Structure 1
Amino acid sequence: MVVGVALVVVPVYLVVLVGYGASPRTTDVGYAPEQPVPYSHALHVGQLGLDCRYCHNTVEVAAKAAIPPTQTCMNCHARVRATSPKLISVRESYATGMPIPWVRVHDLPDYVYFDHSAHVRRGVGCVSCHGRVDTMEVVRQVEPLSMGWCLDCHRNPEPHLRPPELVTSMDWVPPEKPEVYGRRLREQLGVRPSTDCWTCHR
């Protein structure tokens, strides 16, 4: 009886697991969900020069890059464009204390462990995974975020490395060939990415 149930449940579970892991929400380049507030990274990051860490303030110290609380928006918008109709949801959130229901763009499946701080503190630039968000009106996924894509970087991280203090610089260019400069940085920073399964599947 137990074996019969297992023979039915396990294959169904595996199909659902693989299906979700390969769904557009987790792997499709170009995924750009509509957000509850029309926030332009091109304006805030590209034109105004906001650093990624102003809003995503846990990225250097935690696994998750925090989605900003409404107070972060209101630090400026209590005075700047305070009556804009585009900010109605922000003002309502601030008045009620209810969070804005932002839709995560880069949303890995629950069975994948990813630590932002481990990457950022070792000099992997935001642009390597998220693309040039400073030019995006609507943030979209620019990389597949698949296991193979991650492993490619873990096996050859040099092209993605930069001085850790420059990780949020969208237009940074290495002073020499990325592979050569990255090799030197890899040695200096002690970057040793693991390719063991347990690194991401805990």
Structure 2
Amino acid sequence: MAQVFKPSADIILRAVILIIVIAVIVTVVSGWLYWHSGWLTDVAEAPEQPVPFSHRHHAGDLNIDCRYCHYTGEETAKAGLPTSETCMTCHSQLWTEAEALRPVRQAYTEGRPLWWQRVVDSPDFVYFNHAAHLDVGVGCTTCHGPVQEMALTYESHAYTMGWCLDCHRDPAPNLRPEGAVTAFDWRPRTGLSETERQALLEARDVHPERLTDCYTCHR
């Protein structure tokens, strides 16, 4: 009876299977790395702005409250971006001839807004309400990172669904006392007992069992 396959066929088959397995592994690993890389998430990337605004100087050195510029955050879903009028409140007196601030002066003179570029731009299918978070004591740096240290503002981490859900499942450590929502030196509570956790949730009327409903973030 004639031999159908040559002796080398077994080696070739094993090599093909090995190549396929390696290709699958490389594809999966590459996809995971890309999904978590700065190329996709823009982490640590500072978008170009109309003026080189420094949170390190304004929020860190001068300790200007976040709500001075982002003045709608406590009342609406959007935190708002500073208008040219807001900037000129100070810069009509300070650094009045600075070349870097020319776009601010021009916008103010022409009565038009400054076209700031979003640092964090949520997808259209994600609903985020700043007022709802600030109202229960979730502070600015909890989500935006240490902006008081940023010369140019960038994403401090990836805003993934998993990252949001981690907090929604256990929000108690991030609930700040009243008056501390814009504090830069506040740190999440660690080592909370169950009694302490429940007391914090009840005091702020926060219900984690509802926070993981799809409708909470997707409307």
Give the TM-score taking structure 1 as reference length.
Answer: 0.83
Partner of 1:172: 186
Distance 1:67 1:25, change over 3 A: farther
* Counterpart in the other structure of 1:125: 139
1:86-124 CA distances to partner (integer Å, 9 max, x unpaired)?
100000000111211100101101111000000011011
Q: Report what 1:58 is aligned to.
A: 72
Q: Which residue of 2 aligns with 1:190?
A: 205
User: Hey, what's the Cα distance between the residues in 2 that align with 1:178 and 1:68?
Assistant: 38
Q: Secondary structure at the match of 1:165?
A: coil
Identify the residue that residue 91 of structure 2 maps to in structure 1. 77
Question: Hey, what does 2:158 align to over in structure 1?
Answer: 144
Q: 1:105 aligns with which of 119, 126, 136?
A: 119
2:216 equivalent to 1:199: yes
Matched, 1:162 2:176: yes
Aligned-pair CA distance for 1:179: 3.2
Q: Check the 8 A contact 2:141/2:182 in 1, yes or no.
A: yes
Residues 179, 139 of structure 1: alpha-carbon distance in 2 compared, 3 angstrom cutoff: farther
Shift of 1:185: 2.1
> Who is 1:94 aligned against?
108
Aligned length: 181
Q: Give distance in 2, aligned partners of 1:152 and 1:177.
A: 15
| Cα distance change on mapping 1:51 and 1:25 into 2, 3 Å | farther
Q: Which amino acid aligns with 2:215?
A: W
In 2: Cα distance, 1:55 partner to 1:178 partner: 34
Aligned-partner residue type, residue 188 of structure 1: A
d(CA) in 2 for partners of 1:54, 1:26: 32
Provide the rounded CA distance (Å) in 2 between the counterparts of 1:68 and 1:123: 23
Quick check: 2:38–2:44 contact (8 Å CA) kept in 1?
Answer: no
Larger mean Cα displacement after TM superposition, 131-140 or 155-164:
155-164
**Unpaired runs of 5+ in structure 2?**
1-34
Report the secondary structure of 1:179's partner residue: coil
Paired with 1:42 and 1:124, the residues of 2 have a C-alpha distance of 21
Deviations 1:168-187 (A, max 9, x none): 0011246x636356553222
| More deviation, 148-157/192-201 | 192-201
**Residues 1:43 and 1:183: Cα distance change in structure 2 (over 3 Å):** farther
Q: CA RMSD in A?
A: 2.2
The corresponding residue for 2:10 is: none
Q: Aligned residues: percent identity? A: 50
TM-score by length of 2: 0.76
Paired letter, 2:158: P
